[in-house]
């Protein structure tokens, strides 16, 4: 098996802020889900993105990952403007993202699901099988080796041959993390990794996310579980109604009057 540090490698991009979104707007018909929002993620940081339901956090992730195009504004990854680029190109630029509700291929095994996260295997290009079969076989062996290392990292090795449908909600989150790591992201956008997860797996997920950050991954974390945010993040960005409300340390934002009022407004609504 590959060493974990090697399986988690891939930090080859230029210096400067890794992700820099400026003045982003996303309009859905009459609704402005993201409203002149700016956010920066620096190399090696783990930043929490919080805000009441409907604040625009997931939409902001979709804009950064490329599944949505902004109405206006700029998104830079490693200094390059990417706002109009396809999601696949953003993956090549080192952006990985997980979803609030992971949807693995239910009938494929856990290992096969992780392998779907590989970038550009030669085996996908049929002619390569004819021209360089040994190279294709070697690449496939390497990919399987790496997938096993990542499954070990997320503590799912014992389930590698099981169909993904047998996994619990928390285990699906861990599987998705392993799948995303196959593409060697430098930046990971984590969408609510704690939602609906039991306390034991929650502890494991927090620990793995912390370890990824220690190993050099930059992480933007959407999470409603403030204990988790406070434990993992040095800086927290707060969104409300599509806009930046404030940012600061977890302690600062949790005592901030406007933040408390934004959440109280949600409860009252």
Ligand X SMILES: Nc1ncnc2c1ncn2[C@@H]1O[C@H](COP(=O)(O)OP(=O)(O)OP(=O)(O)O)[C@@H](O)[C@H]1O
Q: Which residues bind ligand X (CB under 6 A)?
A: 28, 31, 33, 51, 53-59
Closer residue to ligand X (CB): 28 or 105 = 28
What's the min distance (Å) between Cβ of 32 and ligand X? 9
What's the min distance (Å) between Cβ of 54 and ligand X? 4
**CB–CB of 223/209 below 8 Å?**
no
Neighbours of 31 (CB within 10 A): 12
Residue whose token pair is 């992201």: 185
Q: Which strand (E) or helix (H) includes residue 22?
A: strand 19-28
Closer residue to ligand X (CB): 47 or 164 = 47
What's the min distance (Å) between Cβ of 102 and ligand X? 15
Closer residue to ligand X (CB): 56 or 78 = 56
Q: Kindly list the strands in the beta sheet with 218-222, ordered across the sheet, starting from the edge strand earlier in the chain.
A: 95-97, 187-191, 218-222, 46-50, 235-240, 243-248
Neighbours of 218 (CB within 10 A): 23
What's the min distance (Å) between Cβ of 204 and ligand X? 23
Q: How far apart are CA 46 and CA 61, in angstroms?
A: 15
What's the min distance (Å) between Cβ of 106 and ligand X? 24
Closer residue to ligand X (CB): 62 or 171 = 62
DSSP state of 56: S
Instruction: Give just the sign of the alpha carbon dihedral 73, 38, 95, 31.
Output: negative
Closer residue to ligand X (CB): 54 or 73 = 54
């Amino acid at each position: 098996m590959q060493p974990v540090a090697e399986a988690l490698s891939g930090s080859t991009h230029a210096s400067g802020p890794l992700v820099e979104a400026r003045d982003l707007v996303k309009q859905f018909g009459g609704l402005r889900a993201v409203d002149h929002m700016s956010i920066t993620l620096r190399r090696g940081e783990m930043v929490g993105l919080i805000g009441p339901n409907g604040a625009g956090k997931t939409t902001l992730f979709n804009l950064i990952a490329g599944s949505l195009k902004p109405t206006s504004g700029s998104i830079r990854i490693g200094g390059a403007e990417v706002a109009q680029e396809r999601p696949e190109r953003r993956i090549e630029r080192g952006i990985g993202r997980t979803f609030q509700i992971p949807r693995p291929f239910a009938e494929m095994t856990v290992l096969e699901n992780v392998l779907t996260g590989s970038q550009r295997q030669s085996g996908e290009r049929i002619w390569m099988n004819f021209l360089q079969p040994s190279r294709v076989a070697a690449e496939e062996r390497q990919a399987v080796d790496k997938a096993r290392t990542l499954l070990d990292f997320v503590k799912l090795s014992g389930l590698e041959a099981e169909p993904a449908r047998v996994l619990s909600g928390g285990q699906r989150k861990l599987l998705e993390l392993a799948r995303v790591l196959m593409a060697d992201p430098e930046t990971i956008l984590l969408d609510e990794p704690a939602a609906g997860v039991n306390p034991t797996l929650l502890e494991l997920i927090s620990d793995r996310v912390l370890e990824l950050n220690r190993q050099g991954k930059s992480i933007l974390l959407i999470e409603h579980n403030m204990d988790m945010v406070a434990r993992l993040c040095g800086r927290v960005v707060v969104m409300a109604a599509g806009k930046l409300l404030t940012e600061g340390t977890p302690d600062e934002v949790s005592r901030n009057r406007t933040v408390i009022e934004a959440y109280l407004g949600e409860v009252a609504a």
